[in-house]
Structure 1
Amino acid sequence: MSAEPSPAGNALVAAQAALAAEHAAAYAYGVIGARTAGARATEAREAYGGHLARRDALTRNVRELGGAPRAAEAAYALPFEVRGAADAERLAAEIEDRVAGAYSDLVRAAEGRLRREAADALSAAAVRAARWRGVGVAFPGLPERSERAKQS
């Protein structure tokens, strides 16, 4: 029988995953910003800044949990080619969904202040995804539940 991981260990793993999602989001918003204009470009810049701020907070949280923060990759593979503004908006919605999923895991694993921060980040990502997509989902951060809700 194996021992259960400590709650702090679970929170550290989830915080590292959220940090990785923030690194990827910052990278993606560089692409998104380059393919949008006007109000959408402003949204992209604001989202980029928000992801950098969350990344920095997570870096501190990972250290507080006793871990060494994950470094950003030099580049990230995007899920599809971004040729223009419509693709950039679709990418932004998908990235925000992924970020929401990472924070959903952190909400489940963390306690106290970190859990509240993760819940706030999950909410912010869900709102951004809805703005980019034009519609929200039933259970942000939990795609399996969102899919079941659509089928009901």
Structure 2
Amino acid sequence: MSENARTRVGKSEAEERERKAAEAALRAEHAAVYGYGVVGGRIAPERRDDARAGYDAHRARRDALERDVTDLGGTPEPAAAAYTLPFAVPDAAAALRLAGALEERVAAVYADLVRAASGQRRADAASALREAAVRAVRWSGDGVAFPGLAERSNSAKESGKERPASPSPQD
């Protein structure tokens, strides 16, 4: 194989990894938008503005990722009608925990996109990772040294494999 052919193959593999990471981030954003709808319905009145800001941020990121997936040659997956939440959300305290969990899971997929992307898309993914980490701390009161990576290592220790980065669609 010529050097030029190897470069093309390497480039197409990198583009495929980037597209798949962008698609995973889009799925996570769809789930986050859904999850914030649940949060908004249960959160205490004094945190509703925070919930609205998170919801709006995830909608904007979702819309940008739909464009990115298209630009990368993919077809953006539509949102599911509903998603399975990681736990029941009967009250404001559970809504607070859910918001933190959503942000931690979104941070994990953006860490993957940072790794797979280049240029402006990498910068945008790093910004999204940082924003999700800040929101996670605001919701949970806890931070981690390496946002987006702690979720991977904790779940790997617990189960021997990575957990899904976002709540799964309901069947």
**Residue 92 in 1 paired to residue 99 in 2?**
yes
Name the aligned partner's letter for residue 86 of structure 1: A
Aligned to 2:125: 118
Does the Cα contact within 8 Å between 1:140 and 1:146 map onto a contact in 2? no
Q: Aligned-pair distance for 1:83?
A: 1.0
**Residue 39 in 1 paired to residue 46 in 2?**
yes
Aligned to 1:77: 84
Unaligned runs of 5+ in 2: 1-8, 155-171
Q: Aligned-pair distance for 1:139?
A: 1.1
Name the aligned partner's letter for residue 78 of structure 1: L
Q: Greater CA deviation, 11-20 or 31-40? A: 31-40
**What is the alpha-carbon distance in structure 2 between the residues aligned to residue 82 and residue 145 of structure 1?**
24
Q: Greater CA deviation, 137-146 or 33-42? A: 137-146
Aligned to 1:11: 18
| CA-based RMSD | 1.5
Aligned to 1:53: 60
In structure 2, the CA distance between the partners of 1:128 and 1:39, relative to structure 1 (3 Å rule), is same
Does the Cα contact within 8 Å between 2:105 and 2:151 map onto a contact in 1? no
TM-score (structure 2 length as normaliser): 0.81
Does the Cα contact within 8 Å between 1:93 and 1:132 map onto a contact in 2? yes
Aligned to 1:150: none
**What is the alpha-carbon distance in structure 2 between the residues aligned to residue 114 and residue 139 of structure 1?**
20
- Alignment: residue pair count: 145
TM-score (structure 1 length as normaliser): 0.91
Aligned to 1:105: 112
Q: Aligned-pair distance for 1:33?
A: 0.4
Deviations 1:73-92 (A, max 9, x none): 11000000001111001111
Deviations 1:68-110 (A, max 9, x none): 0111011000000001111001111111000000000000000
Unaligned runs of 5+ in 1: 148-152
Name the aligned partner's letter for residue 36 of structure 1: I
**What is the alpha-carbon distance in structure 2 between the residues aligned to residue 139 and residue 145 of structure 1?**
10
Moved over 2 A (4+): 144-147
Does the Cα contact within 8 Å between 2:97 and 2:139 map onto a contact in 1? yes
